[in-house]
């Protein structure tokens, strides 16, 4: 357990509405990630952050934006939710080493988002 | 681009027996990390074991061990003395060790492991 929480844990929303998911960590790790998990795809990276206000896109970033104004919080926003964004969303952190993030990532409990 | 393939969508094993889950990957890099993660029905993603590509020795963690074949780009997970609590989805993942990459994990599609009592 790396002190990662996600909120909300479940959400149902309608197409076209904005949605923000929150990831909160208690251990001041520099690297944070947002993934989505869909059947048959494993996890796919949406966005990641390597420090406060330092973010970059992953392989499936279209339709998503992120913000990181504090070390402990990494927010994922769907500006206008679509049914294709129905998924389970995971936040992850990496502990920092001298040369960058160390080895493995640790994951939050996930958020199940349904867009109707 | 790197890819990870898990060719077994589902495996089953009798409790107390040994099972091996397969994973192959494709990369042109020489320095990287490989992982096995477990995802039980609770949905929590749990790290099982890690292997550094520069290490020839296979990683072990209690009942879990890997067979890392770098030349063949193969990374299988062996679970000995299977227990009911081992039932879960198992994911193989790759991470580059190249500096200034985004350090993302590249995931396989997963193998569902069923334990028969």
Q: What's the pLDDT tens digit per position in B18-51?
A: 999 999 999 999 889 999 999 999 999 999 999 9
Mean pLDDT of chain A: 91
Q: Measured between alpha carbons, how far is A50 from A93 in angstroms, rounded to an integer?
A: 10
Indicate the pLDDT class of residue A1, thresholds 50, 70 and 90.
low
Residue of A nearest to B92 (CA): A42
pLDDT of A102 higher than 70: no
Residues 60-89, chain B: which have Cβ within 8 Å of A? none
CB pair distance less than 8 Å for A99 and B99: yes
Mean pLDDT of chain B: 93
Which residue carries 């989805």 as its tokens? B89
Q: Measured between alpha carbons, how far is B35 from B47 in angstroms, rounded to an integer?
A: 7
Put simply, whether B91 touches A (Cβ < 8 Å) is yes
Q: What is the pLDDT of residue A24?
A: 97
Q: What is the pLDDT of residue A103?
A: 73
Indicate the pLDDT class of residue A101, thresholds 50, 70 and 90.
low
Q: What's the pLDDT tens digit per position in A31-75?
A: 899 999 998 778 999 999 988 999 999 989 999 999 999 999 999
CB pair distance less than 8 Å for B103 and A101: yes
Distance (Å) of CA B54 to CA A73, B5, B105: 34, 21, 18
pLDDT of A99 higher than 70: no
Contacts of B86 (CB under 8 A, 6+ apart): B38, B79, B113, B115
- For A76-115, give the DSSP string: EEESS--GGG-EEEEEEEEEEETTEEEEEEEE---EEEEE
Percent of all residues in chain B with a pLDDT value above 90, rounded to a whole number: 82
Q: Which of B42, B100, B108 faces A42 most closely, judged by CB atoms?
A: B108
Min Cα distance B83 → chain A (Å) is: 22
Put simply, whether B109 touches A (Cβ < 8 Å) is yes
Put simply, whether B50 touches A (Cβ < 8 Å) is yes
CB pair distance less than 8 Å for A109 and B44: yes
Question: Which chain A residues are Cβ-neighbours of B43 within 8 angstroms?
Answer: 88, 109-110, 112
Residue A90: name the closest of A35, A10, A20, A8 by CA.
A35
Q: Measured between alpha carbons, how far is A70 from A98 in angstroms, rounded to an integer?
A: 22
Question: Which chain A residues are Cβ-neighbours of B7 within 8 angstroms?
Answer: none
CB pair distance less than 8 Å for A109 and B43: yes
Q: What's the pLDDT tens digit per position in B43-89?
A: 999 999 999 998 889 999 999 999 999 999 999 999 999 999 999 99
CB pair distance less than 8 Å for A45 and B93: no
Put simply, whether B16 touches A (Cβ < 8 Å) is no
**CA A25 to the chain's CA centroid:** 12
Indicate the pLDDT class of residue A115, thresholds 50, 70 and 90.
very high
Q: What is the pLDDT of residue B1?
A: 82
The stretch B8-16 carries a mean pLDDT of: 97
Q: What is the pLDDT of residue A98?
A: 63
- For B4-58, give the DSSP string: EE---SEEEEETTS-EEE--EEE-S-SSEEEEEEEE-TT---EEEEEEETT--SP
Indicate the pLDDT class of residue A85, thresholds 50, 70 and 90.
very high
CB pair distance less than 8 Å for A104 and B99: no
């Amino acid at each position: 357990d790396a002190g990662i929480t996600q909120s909300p844990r479940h959400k149902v929303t309608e197409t076209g509405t904005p949605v923000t998911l929150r990831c909160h960590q208690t251990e001041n790790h520099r690297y944070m990630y947002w993934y989505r998990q869909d059947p048959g795809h494993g996890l796919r990276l949406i966005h990641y952050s390597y420090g406060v206000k330092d973010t970059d896109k992953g392989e499936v970033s279209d339709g998503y934006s992120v913000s990181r104004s504090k070390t402990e919080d990494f927010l994922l926003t769907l500006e206008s939710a679509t049914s294709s964004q129905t998924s389970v969303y995971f936040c992850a952190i990496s502990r920092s080493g001298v040369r960058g993030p160390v080895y493995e990532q640790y994951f939050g409990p996930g958020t199940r988002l349904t867009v109707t | 681009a790197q890819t990870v393939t898990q060719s077994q969508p589902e495996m089953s094993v009798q409790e107390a027996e040994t099972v091996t889950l397969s994973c192959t990957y494709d990369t042109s890099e020489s320095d990287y990390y490989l992982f096995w993660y477990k995802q039980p029905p609770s949905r929590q993603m749990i790290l099982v074991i890690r292997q550094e590509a520069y290490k020839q020795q296979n990683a072990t963690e209690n009942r879990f061990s890997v067979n890392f074949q770098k030349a063949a780009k193969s990374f299988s997970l062996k679970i000995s003395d299977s227990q009911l609590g081992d039932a879960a989805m198992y994911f193989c993942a790759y991470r580059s060790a190249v500096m200034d990459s985004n350090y993302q994990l590249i995931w396989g599609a997963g193998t569902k492991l069923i334990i028969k009592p």
